[in-house]
Structures are given as structure tokens and as C-alpha cells.
Amino acid sequence: MIRLEKVCRDFQVGDQVVHALDHIDLDIKPGDYISIMGPSGSGKSTLLNILGLLDRPNSGTYWLNDADVSSLDDDALAEQRQKNIGFIFQSFHLIARLSALENVELPLLLAGAPVAARRERAREVLDSVGLAPRADHRPDQLSGGERQRVAIGRAIVMKPGLLLADEPTGNLDSRSSEEVIDLVEQLNRGGISLMVVTHDIDIGRRARRHISLRDGKVINDEDTRSQ
């Protein structure tokens, strides 16, 4: 489903060139559950941004659903993101003026879906993350765990193949963290590929495949199922 071939991403910091990603090769199959771990500055977020089509590699090729997306223009990237990728952020990134339902509906609105259809779909998704009774609440009226569940609903409303979570529990207490991880794992069992970037070893271990990065290189890639 996803293949990275010799992907490099460099940043110019002052006079120095930092190799945030250094010839990364990676295969992700449908239904994978991957955790990405590593110290700060190891390239975790850069890898996530490249996979999420928010950033472009300096060299190498990114195959998404058998198409080379490394050279697409901005509009085409936006379309690919919309269709194929769901994002979950540490700080939720909900729009404060919109209700839970409207936040979930947002990707459908950007995609130009008709009102009735997108309302129905958003309600359905909100129900599936257990927040149907909170549909009309604004983010500031929701708990942290509820906010992240709204964000998860928004991430899956377009039925993407890949769910990218960047420290999804970083701002949550342990009970809410548990709920959120349970929810994304449940979605993963439903077939969506899940990639979680985390510092939290306990959460990282729950994934079936563990990837460790250091200085922009994959230093460990183990699939627990094969053991």
C-alpha cells in the first residue's frame, strides 16, 4: 500500500545541513499497526509529515497505492491527503468555534459533499467514537479524551486507508489515553493501517510492528507477529 524508497529529507539549519531522514526504505501493508519510536530529533515527525503528504522528500520515491506521489503538485497532494490519510494530533487541532459534529464534518465540507449526506455520515462517525450525545458541544465543553475522540472521528470520516497519529496521548491522562488507544486499535482491527508516533514505551509496545529511528535512519524494525 505504501512504499518509501531511499527517502531523504534535509533541513538547512544555519550553515549546517541536517539529515532529518537519511535514505529511509519502508513498506506499509494494509492493516498494519506500526509504532515509531526514537529520541527527539530522530526524524519521527518528519517521517510522519512525509507519509502524511504534508512535506515532500528531497530525494527518493514515495509510492502510495501504487502511484508515485513524490512529485505531485500542491493541489494533487491536498486531494491525496483528503482521500487517503487521516491525521490525529497531540493537541487535537479542533476548531473552537465549531461543534463536535461540525468538526467531524469538516473534511466532507472541504470535499464538497452535499449537506444532508455529510451530516448523516458525521453523525454515524461520531456515534462510532461514542460521542453521539456530545454532537452539539463545542471543544471547550469537552474533556481531553472526548476532544481526541472527536479528532479521531474527523480523521476517519473520509474512510482513509492510513491513520497517522502524532503523540495522540501526549496531552491526556492515563485513563483517557487508554480509551483513545483502544479506539484507534479497534479502527485498526477494522482494516485501517495505523501508525503511531510516541515517546511512551507502553503505547509503542502495543503495536505489532515497532520501528526505531535515530539520526534519520531506521535502526530497528521488528514485526512481533513473526516472532
Where on the chain is the footprint of another protein (CB under 8 A)?
49, 52, 54-55, 74-75, 78-79, 81-83, 87, 89, 93, 95-98, 106-107, 109-112, 154, 158
- Please classify residue 214 by burial: count the beta carbons closer than 10 Å to its beta carbon, then call 0-12 exposed, 13-18 middle and 19+ buried: middle
Minimum CB separation from another protein for residue 186, in Å?
Answer: 22
What is the residue type of 91?
Answer: S
Question: Residue 26 and residue 8: Cα distance in Å, rounded?
Answer: 12
Nearer to another protein, 93 or 159 (CB): 93
Minimum CB separation from another protein for residue 197, in Å?
Answer: 14
Nearer to another protein, 161 or 209 (CB): 161
**How would DSSP label each residue in 192-205?**
-EEEEE-S-HHHHH
Minimum CB separation from another protein for residue 175, in Å?
Answer: 26
- Across 82-118, b (16+ Cβ under 10 Å) vs e yields bebbbbbbbebebeeebbbbbbbbbbbeeeebeeeeb
Nearer to another protein, 54 or 67 (CB): 54
Nearer to another protein, 110 or 219 (CB): 110
In 3-state terms, what secondary structure has residue 147? helix
The alpha helices in the chain, defined as continuous H runs, are 44-51, 74-84, 100-110, 115-128, 144-156, 174-189, 201-206
Tell the residue number behind the cell numbers 469538516, with chain if given.
106
For the chain, state the CA radius of gyration: 18
Alpha-carbon torsion (208, 165, 172, 170), positive or negative: positive
Nearer to another protein, 3 or 83 (CB): 83
Minimum CB separation from another protein for residue 215, in Å?
Answer: 20
Minimum CB separation from another protein for residue 75, in Å?
Answer: 5
Nearer to another protein, 105 or 146 (CB): 105
Minimum CB separation from another protein for residue 73, in Å?
Answer: 10
Question: Residue 33 and residue 73: Cα distance in Å, rounded?
Answer: 29
